[in-house]
Structure 1
């Protein structure tokens, strides 16, 4: 679905981001993988290089919440590949869960800095380059089903993902004239390092209220992300797709 495409994926060191990298490489893309954890993202690219040799996949250490980091890393990417990525997946995200009455300002702000500011910085920087080079593109941002429902203990995370969803819709309106699409995928509870820390009792409760009675696998989220990144979704923009097992 992505032959010859250059794809930039944040949060590529694990979870959904890593699954997206693998699927996009399988579908013919050259993957530019970025993550704050350098060891993890290097591991992702080592897997890609071993399986899909000769594709030019590279890893970069990136703090999406830091303006200078985003600027310098993407400038290097533009130089290394002599072009900006035309596929962008903002999968970097963190949680700092606590009940609202107990949540610190620092934990509230840190989640917004990564999940919202990080998505903005990467999207803005790459879109500027795409517009300057007169290139079309597809941006896929990772939201969450809790953005539409709220969730106890996640007032910061749920609010940040709601912001990502509305940000994406606005980007789609502004960038449509340049043939740059922007959509959001809303995963439900997914088997990732982020959900591994959830107590078993809580996991079992959520499984019981999910119609499909299980958590998603990261690959199932990656399939929808890759579809939205490809030309198979060429008339889809400003849309949010829930991948939540009916939750």
Structure 2
């Protein structure tokens, strides 16, 4: 997707930058001419302006905020991509695991949005936040209830920040990727992949380009009147089910 020179010199922070989704986001913004701060717990495989930060720790969050402030004064775009997706039934879930999920998926985005928003306001930057959410924000899944709850909370927090930051010209939106079988979070069987794919209206997985291009759009002036909303990039999976409960399975 060609945005001309719109992102030339823009300062972008991407959390969870070492993962598949994070690398795609870094690549797309850098490819569009932006200066990118890539942050993750381990930045060994990252290059450029990188900040190693454990987002479950206050010192890690503050270290990231301080590093960006020292380097840039304030970012123009922040992509809260870091998240964890452990699988467990609620009755099997340890309280420590609950705390860890909420810490990464909810608390960290709150602390970073608040901190970076204050930097933007101080420097007069009409910035943009993009929170990587999920269709799980709207649909509960067994063995992923805590993750679903965390994404619902992130969705509501996005709307709340959008309301409070609008007067400063700062936009806040969610981007909801769809199914991607190549995720490193958990190994999926071919049977599971086939079943999920059959339920997606367009029958397509969410590719790196899909998310990268959607993020560029939400951060661009083409989306200047969009805030407090969620953009699903999931092949129509969030629209409904493809199951047909009758003998005739096709309209034609």
For residue 44 of structure 2, the aligned residue among 39, 42, 64 is 39
| Residues 80-229 of structure 1 mapped to structure 2, 5 A cutoff | 80-81=71-72, 83-194=73-184, 196-229=186-219
Residue 25 of structure 1 corresponds to 30
Cα distance between partner residues in 1 of 2:167 and 2:215: 22
CA contact (8 A) 1:16 1:192 kept: no
**Deviation string for 1:5-37 (max 9, x for gaps)?**
000100111211110110011111001100112
Unpaired runs of 5+ residues, structure 1, are 46-56
CA contact (8 A) 2:132 2:177 kept: yes
CA contact (8 A) 1:64 1:122 kept: no
**Deviation string for 1:166-211 (max 9, x for gaps)?**
1001000000000000000111112443455223322221111111
Cα distance between partner residues in 2 of 1:91 and 1:120: 13
**Deviation string for 1:116-167 (max 9, x for gaps)?**
0111111111001111122110000000011111112100111101111110
Runs of 4+ that moved beyond 6 A: none
Cα distance between partner residues in 2 of 1:108 and 1:189: 23
For residue 8 of structure 2, the aligned residue among 3, 6, 17 is 3
Which SS does the other structure have where 2:51 is aligned? Answer: strand
CA contact (8 A) 1:192 1:218 kept: no
CA contact (8 A) 1:140 1:182 kept: yes
**Deviation string for 1:16-65 (max 9, x for gaps)?**
1110110011111001100112223x2xx2xxxxxxxxxxx411101122
Unpaired runs of 5+ residues, structure 2, are 238-252
**Deviation string for 1:75-94 (max 9, x for gaps)?**
1221123x211100000011
Which SS does the other structure have where 2:69 is aligned? Answer: helix
Which SS does the other structure have where 1:151 is aligned? Answer: coil
Q: Does 1:234 align with 2:239?
A: no
Cα distance between partner residues in 2 of 1:208 and 1:165: 27
CA contact (8 A) 1:191 1:217 kept: no
Which SS does the other structure have where 2:44 is aligned? Answer: helix
Structure showing greater relative contact order (alpha-carbon pairs closer than 8 Å, 6 or more residues apart): 1
Determine which structure has more spread, i.e. the larger CA radius of gyration. 2
Residue 13 of structure 1 corresponds to 18
Residue 63 of structure 1 corresponds to 54
Cα distance between partner residues in 1 of 2:196 and 2:82: 24
